[in-house]
Structure formats: structure tokens, C-alpha cells
Structure 1
Amino acid sequence: MINLKEKKALLFESLALFFIFLIFYEISLYDLRLFHSLADLFGILIILCLFTIVWNSHDRIERSYLFFLGIAYVFVGVFDLLHLISYEGMNLLPEANTNLFLQFWINARYLESFSLLTATFFVSKFVHGKRTVIAYLLLTIFFAYLIFSSNFPICYVEGAGVTDYKIYSEHIISIIFLLSIFMFYKKRELINSRILNYLIVSIIFSILAELSFTIYADLSGSQIFTGHVLKVGAFYFMYKAIVVSSIQIPQEALFNNLKRSKEQAQNYLNIAGSMFIAIDETRRITLANKKAEEVLGYSQDELIGLNWFDNFIPERTKSDILRIFNELMDGNTETNRTIETSIVTKEGEERTIRWQNSVLKDQNGKIIGTLSSGEDVTIQNKARNMLIASKLEAEAANRTKSEFLANMSHELRTPLNSIIGFSEVLLMKKTGELNEKQTHYANNVVKSGKHLLELINDVLDLSKIEAGKMSFEPENISLPEVLDEVQLLMTPLAYKKSIHLRFSIEFIDIRIFAEKIKFKGILYNLLSNAIKFTPENGRVCVNAKIAEDKVQISVSDTGIGIPEEKLRYIFEPFRQVDSSTSRQYGGTGLGLTLVKKYVEMHGGDIWVESKCGEGSTFSFTIPLNENP
């Protein structure tokens, strides 16, 4: 369907052709010979334009049948020019006469018709430009020689008029033209419909022109006027076919490709989860995607053309943002970094956007604007600030709790030590004899008091660590010596349950950077648990080895093991395998928590591997002979 722009162009062309026709008609009434010369000259100019367009656009159009015709018609134009200057009234050739005049005409029409027919064989085939030019140049020289040497058939005899050769030739040429139409139509699937229509109309005009030239009585008849007008029309429609193929269709294809590329790029930008804003050198928005519309509260049509800084940047930050924009426009690539700025939406709400900026350049490399992708981080920033505030609150509450527990533990230990001390005095019978029931009660008081004191001591140590008040004084100590001391201390405990305790050390002497008391506390806690949770006649093994720049110590047992789902919180305070374990085996539930804290104070790591019914292995690392 023809759009409005094409309709206007068609109307303009139609009016222009109509006025040219009127001018030719008026000239023909005034001087037919002048009309004849102008019509021929006009046709030659069309042919020259046609060839110029084809030759200069050969790298942009398909070099097939239309390229072939563009070359052919320039040589047709050569014979039409010779036809024009051989007109007796022109006085440009000494030997000019009507016969020579018509010989050039007939030769031009033969060349034109055969060229059109030959072109049908080059539809969708490649045409070699130089070879075609050479071939037509040789043909032109050959036929020009035949005509000038009087070896070409006579077309006009003075006193008798046109010859049979001339008349038959016009009919033969018309038949060749018809055959060209048939061949082009036969290959219509390979030819653009608009180009095909122009070609067919051009050839029909040529046929009608040839028929007009077969029925005139003399060179001043009305048929001559009709024939030349039709011939100019034929050249014009051939010119249109060439223009459509070499300029209009490629331009439309280029425009459509650009339009599709722009629409595709806009679609990509619209489905992106980030804002995209392009700003030109006048600080106005030239591009905005859907996400930008959603965040800013404007439609795309409203956004385009708005000054970005006047409409969306808060006054308090405008100078800083303008400075960054100007640096980008000046080519300062260091400014191309991620920044966070505030913007003001249509509703007046401020939102925080994290921007990534880049520059836009023209074909000469000149910076013409900026392109920025932005992520709305307003909610994330609020959540982060709330999280930080909550964390600070939690840390403050935890310190308060730790300080409270430390103070309370200190206050509880004093009376508890008195209770334990006086109970032990009673058991020593310093104040008199106790009966069996009194002795049992006193033992329970001492046992429970010591358990409570152990719990208070652990709570106090943990509170000190969390409050940052736990002292830590590492030094270079001999690891084999410390292991020997621990083995000596733990052997009696293992002996009571008939547990085989074995220490496996893969080095003779090595020193570690650790606080001796806390390091021994780590091993004491792990070994106490291993012995406590291992049945009689079981095994507990301590293995020490070098692992890169650290020493790795593992404590393994053949005890009850830990369920897999409980492993993830085994080092948390007051966490034990289950309540029944607590009742059966006792303990404060803080031992492993303190062990983990002590290991981390040394710059090490601790982990556990366990399987129910098969035992557990606790492993930890301590740096070698250096401050962690």
C-alpha cells in the first residue's frame, strides 16, 4: 500500500511530466525540428543520469540485469547522440542526411531491444562491468564503422521516403521488445514487483514509439511527435527502474534495517532490569527505557527533551553531578565509575540510584553525550542501614549482656565458694560427727556446688571473650612438651574407664605461637569430652602433624558420635546433642564454645567429623612460631 509520502511524490512526478509534455507540445507547434532535437537531447540526458547512477552505486546494488542495462543504455545513448547531430538541420556533420539520421536511429533501437532481451538472461546472475563495457564499445565501433562506410542497410531514399528495411526493422524491434516483456514476466519471482512494473511500462512505451515511427508519411507528421514523446517516456520509466533498484530500495532497506535495529535495541533496553538514560551535550534526555519511566514517573514522550539536571537532580548535589558530567564530556575516562546519586521523581520522591556511566561518540570520535545505566538501590540502602543499625544494637546488647554476666558471675562465685568450703568442712567432721544421711546431703551440696562453679567460670570466660576483655598473651612454646603435659593429666581419667589413650606425633620438636594455658584448655576440653562420651574399653587418639604453615591436631574417639543434623550448631553456647545426653553425661554446654573461641583467638580453625555409633573427630589448627 502506498503511504502519504509516496502519494505526494507520485503526484509531483505526474505534474512534472505533464508540464514537460505541454512544453514539448508547444515547442512542436512552433518548430517540430526544435522539438525533435530537444526530445532526443532530453532522452540522452536521462540515459546519462541512468548510467551515472548505476556505475556509481555498483558497490551497493546487485550487479545483475539492471547493472547490465545501465551500461547498455549509455551506448544506446551514443547512437541517439549521433542520430541527433546527423539531423540535417543541425549542420554538425558534413555528410548529414536523412538516411544517416535514420540509420543511427534504427541501430540505437536494435541495440536497445537486444540489450533488454539479453538482460533477461542476467536476472540473478553476476555481471562483469569491465567486460560488458568492452563488449559494447566494440559493438559501437563496429556499427558506427558500418554506417559511416555506407555498409549499413539504407533506411531512407530521397523522393521515395523510408525503405522497407526501416519499416520491417521497426516491427522486428517491436517483436524483440515484446519478447523481452515475456521473458521478464517469466522471471517475475526473481524481480522486485515495482522494478518489474517500471520495466514493462518502459518497454511498452518503446513498442508504441516504434509503431508510431512505422506509419508517418514525412518527418513533420504528428506521428513523429507522438513517437518521440513515447520514447522519452520509455527512457524515463527505465530511469525509474534503475533509481528504484539502486537508490530507493537500498535506502528503504537501510532505513528499515536501522528502524528495526533501533526498535530491537529499544526492546532490549525495555526488558532490562536497569534504567537507561542518554543525555546529549545540551544536558537533555535523548533516550529512556521502560525502567526509567517506571522509576521517574514520566512517559517516554514526556522524558525526551527534558533537561536532566533541572528536572531530576536535587539542588544540594547538582554542582557535584554537573562536574562529573562535564568531566565525562571532556573525555575523562576516570569518571567512568560506579557512583550513587539521588534523583527526584515526578511525585517529588527522592530515590537513590547506582549509576554506571559511559560516553557516546559520533562517526568522527567526538563525544556527543553520555549513556548511563542505573539501578534503583533505595530499598537495598534502607535495608542495609537498618541491618547495620540492628547489628550495632545487637552488639551493644550483647556487650551489655556479657558485662552483666561477668559481674553476676563474679558476685555468685564468692558466696558459692563459701557454700562449697563450709560443706567440705562438715565432711571433714571438724564440727562433729555426721550421720549417713547428713554425709549424703553434704556430698550432694559439694558436688552440685562444684558443678555450678564450673558453669559460672565458663560463663565468665565466655563473657570476657565476647566483651573483649579476655587477655591473650601468646608466646613461642614447645608443642611436644605441652602434649606430654596434657597426656600426663588425662591418662588417669582414661584409665578409670579402661579407655586406651594414644598420642601420635609426626614430628620430634616444633614450636607454636600460642598461649600455653588456653592451648592446654583446648586439648583438655576436647579430650574430656572424648573420654566422657566413649564407652568403657574404647579408644581415644590424639594426632598432631604439620599442615603447610600450621600444625593440625585431631582428637578422635570411638564414642557415641553426633547426629549429622546437630553438627552445624555443636559449637554454639549451651548446645549439646540432646537433653538425654545432658542428663546422662553432664556438662555445662559451654566447653566446645570456649574451645572454638580459643582456637579463633590463636588465628586457627576448628571443625568436626562424626557418625552416630562410630565416634567423632575434632580437628583444629594453630599457626607455627609466628604472630597470627
Structure 2
Amino acid sequence: MDPLLDTAPAGFISFDDAGIIRLVNATLATLVGRPREELVGRHIDVLLSVAARIFYSTHLFPLLRLQGHAEELYVPILRADGSSLPVMVNGVSRTADDGPAYDLVLMPMRERNRLEDDLIAARNAAQAAAAAKDRFLSIVSHELRSPLTGVAGFAELLLRARAGPLTERQRGYVERIREAAFYQVGLIEDILEFAAIDGERRGMAPIAVAVEEVVARAEALLAVRAAEDGHTIERSPKPAPGAVIADARGVQQILLNIGVNAIKYSPAGTAISFQVERVSGRVRFSIRDRGPGIPPEQIERIFEPFVRLDGIGGDGRRHGVGLGLAISRDLARAMGGELRVESVLGHGATFFLELPAA
């Protein structure tokens, strides 16, 4: 036997038309735990279980005789100790000096089976994790968000003096309760949004949306927040032309997220720039602040979940768990767009949202 064939990393066996083994390489002898002398001259059944013998008679051998080849057939062969060894069989027929002959290459399947088992285990673990996440979201939604919304609502009723007038001290306490409840509800909403960001669960429906419609609505909401800190919103052009293929609610949420960040990180009294332009078949929204800017090494990090750049700007009013930008970028990409940022440290930052033009 050729030395290369004898030591190949796969088993090799050759048998005649009667099923009598004529040749076995050292690799196969090692795999089954038998000396080759014990195999040569015996029927191939010596390597097959009862079920494998039936498969050999009804599938493998007929394929070799009728088609001249057999490819990637799974066959368990017997080891000397009676255990089963799964192998992948490829075979061809040929004409030898004394008649038809059949050559098989047998590749052990132990590693493949182990990998398949690992994949099945990983799939089961992923399904269990998804079920656990759904249970968690249900608990967060119903057991935490609902009571907090109730607390905020009752605090609002107290502030409206529905239960009688409040002293200034009492009003201050109730306002703190209301703001704390709204803050916690906001955090929970962010977590729920991030966990269910895919379009199907959010009910996202990209359609042609007028740019002015979403921009004007976002500007109106941002203007209220900006006025609290003495900021102004400078938007151009007015009205914003054109339309985008997007989900109106998703676009507005992104603009509000990056707009609120611009307000948070800008010095009091400065202007927030809000612009819209059409660039190469896409509509680009940009919001620029006059804040401290973003360090170059943090440019991409800020889009990762739960990342906050504490300590730059120092206005003492930044809240959240670092999900706003992660949610915004995922929303942009779900609509076929992109969200990115450009910044020079010490000179503010500009966030760009690009979406397909209608």
C-alpha cells in the first residue's frame, strides 16, 4: 500500500463484489481498534452493526454498483470493543484485475458531532435567554413602569391643588417626587426600547415622510427644553424641503435624543444649530452644539450601550444610563440610514443623521 494512503488522516477500505475486504489502511485499523490482518479477507459486515448492514445492502452498495460512486453518507461502524464510531463515507467503484472493486474513504465524525451538539446547546441557551429577556421586559413594564407612572400622576394632581392648597415647602417636595418618578420612567423606557429595538417589535413602518413635519415637531419639543437653560435653536432652512423614507416616530426620537444631548452639553445661553440638506440621494439632518467636544478615542464608544462620557462639561445635570445614542444609531440603521458624529475637542460636536430620500 502507498505509504501516504496508509497514514492518511482518514480510514480507507477496499472490498470486492462479494463484500470481502481486500485492503485496509493503518488509520482505519486504528480507528476500529483491530489489526488489519484481522480485517482483510473477512466480509465488510464485520465493521457494521445490524442497522448499518441494512443500510449497506439497501443504499451504499447499490449506489456504488449503479452510479459508480457514493458521497457523504453517514454510517456508524463498529469498533473492537463493540462501541459505535460515526463516520462520513465517500466511495467509488473501479475495475480491478480480478473484477469489480469498491474503495471507501471513512472520515470520523466525532468532532463534527461534538460541534453539532455544541450548536444545539448554544441554540437552546439562546432560546432560554430570549425567553428570560421577555419575562424580564414584562416585569419591568408592568411591575415597575406602571406604579411609577401612577406616582407621577398623583404628584401632578397634588401640584394642581386637587386635594387642597400646598405650602411652598410641600410643593417643593411634591415636585421632587414628580421629577424623580418621571426620571425613573424615562430610564425604564430607554431600557425597554433598547431591548426591543428591532423594527418588527417596535411596529416600525418606513414610508415617505415630509422632512418639515418631523423637523418642526422635534424643534418645538427641543425649544421648550432649550429655553430652560437659556439656549436657542437655530434651524435652517425653513421650511425644510423634501421627504425621507423612514418611520416618523423613529426619526423624531433620534432628533430628540441628539438634540437633548446638545442642550445638555452646551454652555448656558449658546445656540444649538439644526440644519437639513440633501446629499447624494439622502437627506442629512445635523445638530451642532457648542460644548466641550468628544475625545477622538471616544467617538465610536459613545454609540455603545451603557457608555456615558462623565466629567466633560460639568453642568451637573446629565442623567441616564447611556442608551440614547445606542438606541438612536440602531433606529437609524433599521431605517436604512446612519448616525455619526464629528467633533473637535474644545469646539463642540455635530451629529449627522442620514436617511434615504423619498
Q: Normalising to structure 1: TM-score of the pair?
A: 0.46
> Matched residues, percent identical?
17
Aligned-pair distance for 1:387?
1.0
What amino acid maps onto 1:286 in structure 2? Answer: L
What amino acid maps onto 1:404 in structure 2? Answer: I
| Structure with the greater alpha carbon radius of gyration | 1
Return closer, same or farther for 1:530/1:312 CA change in 2, 3 Å cut-off: farther
Counterpart of 1:266? 6
Give, in whole Å, the separation in 2 of the partners of 1:554 and 1:289: 70
Query: Is residue 449 from structure 1 mapped to residue 181 from structure 2 by the alignment?
Result: yes
Between structures 1 and 2, the one with greater strand share: 2
Query: Secondary structure at 2:105's aligned position in 1?
Result: strand
Selected match of 1:526 from 258, 281, 297: 258
Counterpart of 1:404? 139
Between structures 1 and 2, the one with greater helix share: 1
CA deviation vs aligned residue, 1:145-179 (integer Å, no higher than 9, x gap):
xxxxxxxxxxxxxxxxxxxxxxxxxxxxxxxxxxx
Return closer, same or farther for 1:369/1:547 CA change in 2, 3 Å cut-off: farther
Structure 2 unmatched runs, 5+: none
CA deviation vs aligned residue, 1:310-362 (integer Å, no higher than 9, x gap):
524561684278514431342266x53x454444433344444445x252535
Cα contact 1:610–1:617 (8 A) shared by 2 = yes
CA deviation vs aligned residue, 1:232-262 (integer Å, no higher than 9, x gap):
xxxxxxxxxxxxxxxxxxxxxxxxxxx7xx2
Q: Normalising to structure 2: TM-score of the pair?
A: 0.73
Give, in whole Å, the separation in 1 of the partners of 2:338 and 2:154: 39
Give, in whole Å, the separation in 2 of the partners of 1:545 and 1:285: 76
Return closer, same or farther for 1:449/1:602 CA change in 2, 3 Å cut-off: same
Query: Is residue 311 from structure 1 mapped to residue 311 from structure 2 by the alignment?
Result: no
CA deviation vs aligned residue, 1:473-527 (integer Å, no higher than 9, x gap):
443222354234434543565574657756689x952441x32122211221122
What amino acid maps onto 2:183 in structure 1? Answer: H
Aligned-pair distance for 1:570?
3.6
Return closer, same or farther for 1:314/1:424 CA change in 2, 3 Å cut-off: farther
Aligned-pair distance for 1:390?
1.0
Give, in whole Å, the separation in 1 of the partners of 2:153 and 2:220: 31
Return closer, same or farther for 1:570/1:298 CA change in 2, 3 Å cut-off: farther
Query: Secondary structure at 1:585's aligned position in 2?
Result: coil
Query: Is residue 592 from structure 1 mapped to residue 328 from structure 2 by the alignment?
Result: no
Counterpart of 2:32? 296
Counterpart of 1:230? none
Cα contact 1:288–1:304 (8 A) shared by 2 = no
CA deviation vs aligned residue, 1:92-149 (integer Å, no higher than 9, x gap):
xxxxxxxxxxxxxxxxxxxxxxxxxxxxxxxxxxxxxxxxxxxxxxxxxxxxxxxxxx
Return closer, same or farther for 1:266/1:468 CA change in 2, 3 Å cut-off: same
Give, in whole Å, the separation in 1 of the partners of 2:220 and 2:12: 75
Aligned length: 347
What amino acid maps onto 2:323 in structure 1? Answer: L
Aligned-pair distance for 1:416?
2.0
Query: Is residue 416 from structure 1 mapped to residue 151 from structure 2 by the alignment?
Result: yes
With a CA cutoff of 8 Å and minimum separation of 6, indicate the structure with the bigger relative contact order: 2
TM alignment of 1:385-534, pairs within 5 A: 385-425=120-160, 431-432=164-165, 434-435=167-168, 437-462=169-194, 469-491=201-223, 493=225, 496=229, 498=231, 501=234, 508-512=241-245, 514-534=246-266
CA deviation vs aligned residue, 1:3-62 (integer Å, no higher than 9, x gap):
xxxxxxxxxxxxxxxxxxxxxxxxxxxxxxxxxxxxxxxxxxxxxxxxxxxxxxxxxxxx
What amino acid maps onto 1:401 in structure 2? Answer: F
Query: Secondary structure at 1:589's aligned position in 2?
Result: coil
Counterpart of 1:246? none
CA deviation vs aligned residue, 1:157-202 (integer Å, no higher than 9, x gap):
xxxxxxxxxxxxxxxxxxxxxxxxxxxxxxxxxxxxxxxxxxxxxx
What amino acid maps onto 2:176 in structure 1? Answer: N
RMSD over aligned CA atoms reads 4.3
Aligned-pair distance for 1:586?
1.0
